[in-house]
């Protein structure tokens, strides 16, 4: 690759972007004026933000004790509020005539006196809250206090030796509100707070009547002390804000320049001129990527700078929140480069796929929907930086930044390598995807089209190929996931092995196999090629069986490591333990959890979906994407991760052998061995000492393989996979074309 060509493309694209007024506004003008305007708007709108007065209707308040008084002069007593201005925010309406806002007496006839009528008016919104005291509430409250005072006044009985009085049962006051109205919910919370404080006041008064000090109800209080270093509390606030803004603005700053550099050039007709230049496709992508990274980083820097300057003035008017630490800027600048590279490559690939600028803008929402959960998870309370979370793309970066900005440098240091490694791998994959997009002529020169649904359906059924297209493979995978999602909620959770086995069979046959088979019949001309129903090589079948046997200890050890890294939810463990309380016949377990998945899942994922993805011309991309769909159909997250890796192995076997049969047998043997391992118990090991050479019993982790068996299995599996690698396989027409493009590009770069 010639860096001179990359530099020339880079300067060309930068000059073009600097001539675009929309880009200049989004990158330079908007960040400068956005935050000052937001700060000004905050202070302007703060004048309109005030606490609203709520209307409360009180029934049955006649005869309430005067000490402590709940109501004084037609309002709740100020002693039961925490803020001095809160009593005026609760407007009480009593059955007697009560003053209204204009000082005139409210007509007594308009006040409901029955409980049912009062509830109807709360439901209608006339009143926000109804407070109802039962008819004998006041009398029983007074009698109970008198009873306490009478016990205390008994002569000759010292207070500690007196027997506690058998107090009268006091009915509970009732509060009615309308949860469909936000103001009614707010009123309920205010009234409830008042009643709780008043109840505590009544309790203190009763203690005094019984001759006990009020402190008897609260013999001690808990004192709290914050031992954090000065400024750490403020850093914790900014540690959650800055990483979120960094990722959002890096993605937004990269998206619009990428759309203009790719889809915009398609519309302007200048992309063909660039592609016909001496620069190779990878050099063009490199120049465009550097341009997008520049504008992405500039967007982040200007936004953080503008927000910091505005925040210095805004936060000076607020209490308990100080300015962000200056060291935070340094860590944000360090994290900015890989984050900008990641989002720039993703946006560039999406922009190259778009037919027009308008279509490219539609791709921002899917990118946000994928990125936002990864960012939000990292800022949730209780989510900490550990090895498992550091391996999650984007989430690990946010958690690492949050930990560093909080000042916990030594805690963050061990997780820097995994976070950096995952981010760099993501950047390389995204760049590779962008380069592949520019190497695909059908992607670069797709024409805009209007969808005629009837014509599209006729062409879909008439112009069928031997194998499905990429979009049909994606649709099949998504359809399986959607059906599986709704079925998992529609059907009741299994409580026995019979129900669990029935659910598993329905999932395999109805949810997974049926959509794939129906789409094979309807959308393809050759079910044999689509489902890889070919005769494999003679040695492929025994090689697949031996590979499944040797690889199983490795997969079992990997599954154990994943569960340690991401512990399984205790509720799932309890549910499965309740289902498998008894040992069932091994043949039943193999039939349900080995034979059925080996047939149904292989037909769907290594048949229809893998054949469709291979139409893209990239073998490994097809294998990985079909494996991701395969893993997502497993309900437990920890199981899905291992299933994706296992699906890659099975997909590779299917491609290299040209048949689905070796993959089915691999799948069957692997699941059967897994079930057999779970079926073993420590008693079986004691009865069969020969098994001790292979497996061992670990407390709390069941039966596992010896480490030596795992290492030997890994070496043997690697040898068999190398044998599969040496086998010639039948490439699709798209794969032949992509190989030719790669060879020509490599030859041009070498020349």
**Out of 149-163, 464-478, 507-521, 617-631, least confident range:** 149-163
Distance CA 543, CA 560 (A): 26
Phi (first) and psi of residue 127, to 5 degrees: -120, 145
Q: Could you please report the per-residue DSSP string of 171-234?
A: PPPEEEE-TTSHHHHHHHHHHHHHHHHHHHHHHHHHHHHTT--GGGT-S--------SPTTHHH
Mean pLDDT score, 548-571: 86
The two structure tokens encoding residue 546: 């031996």
CB 435 within 8 A of CB 497: no
Residue 462 token pair: 């008439």
Q: What is the mean pLDDT of the chain?
A: 80
The enclosing H or E element of 644 equals helix 637-657
Which residue pairs, CB below 8 angstroms and at least 24 apart, start in 739-747? 741/439, 742/439, 745/280, 745/281, 745/282, 745/439
Give residue 330's pLDDT.
Answer: 79
In DSSP terms, 129 is beta-bridged to 56, 177
Give yes or no for residue 160 having a pLDDT over 70: no
Mean pLDDT of the 415-424 span:
89
pLDDT digits (tens, 9 = 90+) for 468-527: 988 889 999 999 999 988 888 777 777 777 888 888 888 899 999 999 999 998 888 889
- What backbone phi and psi angles, to 5 degrees, belong to 176? -110, 135
Least Cα distance to 630 among 652, 605, 650 occurs for 605
Average pLDDT over residues 372-399: 83
Task: State yes or no: pLDDT of 545 exceeds 70.
Answer: yes
pLDDT of residue 623: 94
**Rounded mean pLDDT of 39-46?**
61
Q: How far apart are CA 382 and CA 390, in angstroms?
A: 15
φ, ψ dihedrals at 58, nearest 5°: -115, 125
- What percentage of the chain has pLDDT greater than the value 70? 83
Q: Is 97 helix (H, G, I), strand (E, B) or coil?
A: coil
pLDDT interval class at 317 (50, 70, 90) = low
Question: Where does the pLDDT of residue 555 fall: very low under 50, low under 70, confident under 90, or very high at 90 and above?
Answer: very high
Using the predicted structure, report yes or no on whether residue 36 has a pLDDT greater than 90.
no
CA distances, 458 to each of 336, 358, 461, 470, 522 (Å): 49, 27, 5, 19, 12
Distance CA 56, CA 128 (A): 6
Residue 616 DSSP class:
G
Distance CA 189, CA 178 (A): 12
pLDDT grade, residue 612 (50/70/90)? very high
- Give 613's pLDDT tier (boundaries 50, 70, 90): very high
416-439 and 327-353 helices, crossing angle to 10°: 30
Of 331-335, 519-523, 683-687, minimum mean pLDDT range: 683-687
Question: Which residues, including other chains, have CB under 8 Å from residue 703's CB and lie 6 or more apart?
Answer: 677, 678, 680, 681, 682, 685, 695, 696, 697
pLDDT digits (tens, 9 = 90+) for 724-746: 999 888 888 888 877 777 777 66
Q: Is the pLDDT reported for residue 332 higher than 90?
A: no
Task: Supply the DSSP string of 353-377, one letter for each residue.
Answer: H-SSHHHHHHTHHHHHHHHHHHHHH
Q: Which tens digit of pLDDT belongs to each residue from 590-600?
A: 888 889 999 99
User: Is residue 623 a contact partner of residue 487, using CB atoms and an 8 Å limit?
Assistant: no
Q: Are strands 75-76 and 71-72 parallel, antiparallel or unpaired?
A: antiparallel
For residue 156, what pLDDT is reported?
Answer: 46
| Residue 156 CB partners (closer than 8 Å, separation 6+) | none
H/E run at residue 146: helix 137-152
């Amino acid at each position: 690759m010639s860096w001179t060509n990359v530099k020339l493309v880079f300067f060309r694209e930068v000059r073009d972007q600097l001539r675009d007024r929309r880009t200049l506004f989004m990158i330079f003008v908007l960040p400068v004026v956005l935050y000052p305007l937001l700060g000004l708007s905050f202070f302007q709108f703060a004048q309109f933000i005030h606490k609203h007065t709520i209307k409360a209707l009180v029934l049955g308040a006649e005869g309430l004790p005067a000490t402590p008084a709940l109501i004084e002069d037609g309002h709740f007593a100020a002693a039961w509020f925490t803020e001095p201005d809160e009593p005026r925010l609760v407007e009480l309406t009593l059955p007697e005539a009560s003053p209204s806002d204009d000082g005139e007496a409210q007509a007594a006839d308009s006040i409901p006196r029955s409980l049912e009528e009062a509830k109807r008016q709360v439901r209608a919104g006339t009143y926000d809250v109804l407070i109802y005291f039962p008819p004998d509430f006041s009398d029983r409250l007074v009698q109970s206090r008198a009873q306490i005072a009478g016990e205390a006044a008994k002569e000759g009985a010292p207070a500690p030796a007196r027997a506690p009085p058998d107090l009268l049962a006091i009915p509970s006051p009732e509060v009615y509100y309308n949860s469909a109205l936000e103001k009614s919910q707010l009123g309920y919370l205010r009234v409830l707070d008042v009643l709780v404080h008043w109840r505590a006041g009544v309790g203190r008064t009763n203690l005094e009547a019984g001759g006990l000090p009020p402190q008897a109800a609260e013999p001690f209080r808990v004192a709290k002390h914050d031992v954090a270093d000065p400024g750490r509390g403020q850093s914790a606030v900014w540690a959650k804000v800055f990483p979120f803004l960094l990722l959002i603005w890096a993605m937004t700053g990269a998206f619009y320049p990428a759309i203009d550099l790719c889809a915009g050039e398609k519309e302007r007709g200048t992309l063909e001129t660039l592609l016909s230049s001496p620069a190779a496709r990878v050099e063009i992508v490199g120049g465009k990527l550097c341009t997008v990274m520049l504008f992405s980083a500039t967007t982040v820097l200007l936004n953080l700078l503008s927000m910091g300057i505005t925040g210095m003035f805004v936060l000076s008017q607020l209490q308990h929140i100080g300015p962000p630490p200056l060291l935070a800027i340094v860590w944000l600048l360090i994290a900015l480069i890989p984050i900008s590279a990641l989002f720039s490559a993703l946006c560039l690939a999406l922009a190259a796929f778009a037919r027009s600028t308008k279509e490219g803008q539609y791709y921002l929402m899917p990118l946000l929907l994928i990125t936002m959960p990864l960012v939000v998870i990292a800022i949730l309370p209780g989510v900490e930086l550990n090895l498992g979370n550091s391996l999650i793309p984007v989430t690990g970066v946010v958690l690492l930044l949050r930990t560093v900005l909080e000042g916990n440098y030594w805690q963050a240091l061990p997780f820097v390598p995994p976070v950096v490694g995952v981010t760099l791998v993501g950047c390389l994959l995204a760049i590779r995807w962008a380069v592949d997009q520019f190497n695909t002529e059908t992607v670069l020169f797709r024409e805009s089209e209007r969808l005629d649904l009837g014509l599209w359906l006729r062409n879909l059924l008439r112009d069928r190929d031997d194998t499905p297209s990429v979009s049909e493979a994606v649709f099949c995978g998504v359809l399986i996931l959607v059906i599986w999602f709704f079925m998992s909620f529609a059907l009741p959770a299994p409580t026995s092995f019979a129900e669990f086995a029935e659910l598993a069979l329905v999932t395999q046959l109805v949810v997974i196999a049926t959509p794939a088979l129906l789409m094979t019949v309807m959308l393809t001309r050759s079910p044999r090629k689509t489902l890889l129903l070919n005769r494999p090589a003679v040695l492929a079948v025994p090689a697949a069986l031996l590979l499944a046997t040797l690889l199983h200890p490795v997969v079992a050890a990997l599954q154990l490591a994943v569960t340690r890294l991401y512990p399984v939810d205790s509720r799932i463990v309890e549910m499965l333990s309740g289902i498998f309380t008894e040992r069932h016949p091994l043949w039943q377990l193999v039939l349900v959890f080995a034979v059925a998945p080996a047939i149904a899942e292989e037909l769907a994922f290594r048949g229809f979906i893998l054949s469709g993805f291979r139409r893209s011309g990239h073998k490994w991309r097809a294998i990985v994407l079909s494996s991701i769909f395969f893993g997502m159909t497993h309900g437990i997250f920890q199981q899905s991760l291992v299933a994706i890796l296992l699906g890659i192995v099975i997909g590779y076997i299917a491609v290299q052998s040209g048949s689905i049969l070796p993959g089915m047998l691999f799948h069957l043997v692997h699941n059967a061995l897994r079930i057999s391992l779970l079926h073993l118990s420590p008693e079986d090991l004691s009865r069969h000492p020969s098994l001790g050479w292979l497996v061992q019993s670990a407390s709390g982790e069941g039966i596992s393989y010896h480490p030596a068996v795992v290492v030997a299995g890994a070496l043997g599996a690697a040898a068999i996979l190398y044998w599969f690698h040496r086998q010639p396989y039948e490439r699709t027409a798209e794969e032949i074309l992509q190989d030719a493009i790669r060879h020509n590009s490599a030859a041009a770069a070498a020349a």
